[in-house]
Structure 1
Amino acid sequence: MSFQTGVRSRPDLVVEAADVTDVQRAITQGLPVSAQATGHGAMSSDGGVLINTARLDHVHIDPQARTAEVGAGVTWDGVVREAARHGLAPLSGTSPTVGVAGYTLGGGLSPLSRRYGYAADHVLSVDIVLPSGEHRRVSADDEDLFWALRGAGRSFGVVTSLRFKLFPVDRILGGSLTFDPARFPEVLQHYRKWTDEVPDDLTSALALTNFPDSPGMPPPLRGRKVLRVVVVGGEEPALEPLRRIGVLEDTVRAMRYADIAAVFAEPTTPHGFQGDAVVATDLDPAAAADFADLFDPGAEHAMFLVVHHLGGAMATPPTPANAVGHRDARFLVRATTPVVYPAAAGLGALHSTMIEKLGRGSKRRMLNFLFGDAPQQAATCYDPADHRRLTELKRRIDPTNLIRPARGI
């Protein structure tokens, strides 16, 4: 079962791979191939082979080398727990149930990314079954493929395991500052200015959310509208400019990094969702006033609008370089709505209009933040020269387009 229940797929064959040999057999059937572990980014499709990698679930932590080697079916909660036993942390996402492989191959935006970079920047090797059926461990010696896998890796084969760096992070500042949601345009303006000055070890996101008064919503949130800034890292003095503008609730505290998922409180139960996101070099706070009606608790659908502060170490390409795009972006602006299948008509256009206005017309996107059946293609996620290089490599490695992930090259 996919975590994303808002779209439906009808493959001809589903293979629950227990080992590399199962993956190789599935690929050599001659049918189009896609793979998933948790299905957070699943899209509707018909036909072909769907390889479920959830049973490839090994986790090995080397505390001396500060590395982890994990199977393609592992989710972040398992890696975070094991690394924490040694005072280490991976560049995990905000949700503990997201699969490590898909997240990392698409770039990987972590609460630690302003300090250390994208998760893809710290991959040491990738084990992959190529369209030919060959199982290969790819590292820096294989320059072109290693470059492509770290940022566009789902298009070139089926990954069976990853090896990546861990970081000496045990305790960290984490929590949220809650504001009056009626002040959203004002708070957004303050937030935009505040991010100009914060240190690289402080990651934050501003989120405006409405929860309709309906039976499907959690009782404590039903009929509410919430505006908050989530922060991870940094030091207390860096938060004072935000606190001075009027905080209704302050939950920021020192905590274990292993517990950081509780700060974001991402849903862990499979559900349907539709959304879109753009990366932008700047924000237009004046556009925020145009969205007030969409965040009325009386509206039919819940709406989540989140502005992530990027930059820091993410702005610097790693050595060796990888395919992660748009490193000049300062913000990721995303909108998400929980939906049932099929998604409500017009939601996709509504999301795109909202985030593109707030992002000053940007149409550049990030691969891991294309949700549901939104029509945006992978080309929007990369710089043009990099996309051409990826396309040429895809033609060499997979001339018949056997590997067909959602929004692939």
Structure 2
Amino acid sequence: MINWEPPLIENRIDCSTDEPSVILIPCTINKMGHHAANNKLKWYYDKRVSIDKHEKKKMDDIYISLKEDIKKNLALPFAIDKLIDRGSNPEELKVIKQDEYDLLVKLNVPGSYWTMQEHEEDSRYMCIKARGKDPDVPEILIRNGKLSAAHVRSNFHASVQKYVNAYTRRSNLKLALSTHGPATTLHVKDDYENKLFDVDLVPLVKLGKHWLIGKPHENARNKPDVPEGCLWRRSFTHLESHRLKCIPREDRKILKIVKTICHYNDKQMGMLSTYVYKTAFLRWFYDDSNSLPGLHFKKLPMWSKLVSYLAYIDGTLRTGKLYPYFDEKNLDNLLHGQKQTALSNLANYCRKMVNNVEFLESQLNVES
């Protein structure tokens, strides 16, 4: 067992919101405590979190080859500008297995032909309005002078299905297709039908500084021709990825450890998406950790940082509010729709890991 004193939690009022926030002040621990705790985390990171280097290289090589083939042979009814890697892989946050990739398919929708307008009732969404005849966008994708996200999605999916059929006939790899939200997912298998990895393909439009994806509005699910079917969802992925990459690798390990705890403790922490934990991590690292009084955050041991991040999650869940890091207007509460009882139970679970070193150790020993 690690010789480590439980941390102190101080409630403090954030003057900008008038809401209580939880600030963790780790207690001083002796050198043996630091050494044992960090050795425990190193073991966990090496044995549970890290992806085997040979597996990663093998999957990356297959993915790169597939991506090049998609760029060359995917025939869409609209022009592709470029393919953009996003998500945990370029952010170096993938854990356990190299089993998924995220690829944004940027459409060639120039500002010379199109303009944006914020949706009056839900400003998380934008409509893309034509201000001239764009020769690269067919009429089937336009509804009432607007580029329809719903029709782009459906045509995109149909085109990817044709690509899958052709690819499977000429390759040893097997591809299958599914859809979820804005993504068309390629399920990649070897010639023995063993799963290799998934690739989420998401159409993207970039106009000015705004990145927009075709995530369906709740009023337009399975109803492509309603007015909301034209709406595109704001995305902050480019800004978030840049900020995450600016965080030192050693500190990013904290998020990777928590993601792995989520994987092996799915009944508790799995109720929230990894995007929620990633958003909380950004807010903790850039806003909360640097405000710890009297502490030099960079010099804290990894165990103390892990406990600090878990305490931040605990406090955030108790407020019931968490917004994307670059959502300046606080439009999209990522915890909306979650039952308060479930959030409280998860907060209690996180607080138990914060206050009880033996319990946190036990969670690092869970394998399945």
TM-score in terms of structure 1 length: 0.27
Name the one with the larger helix percent.
2
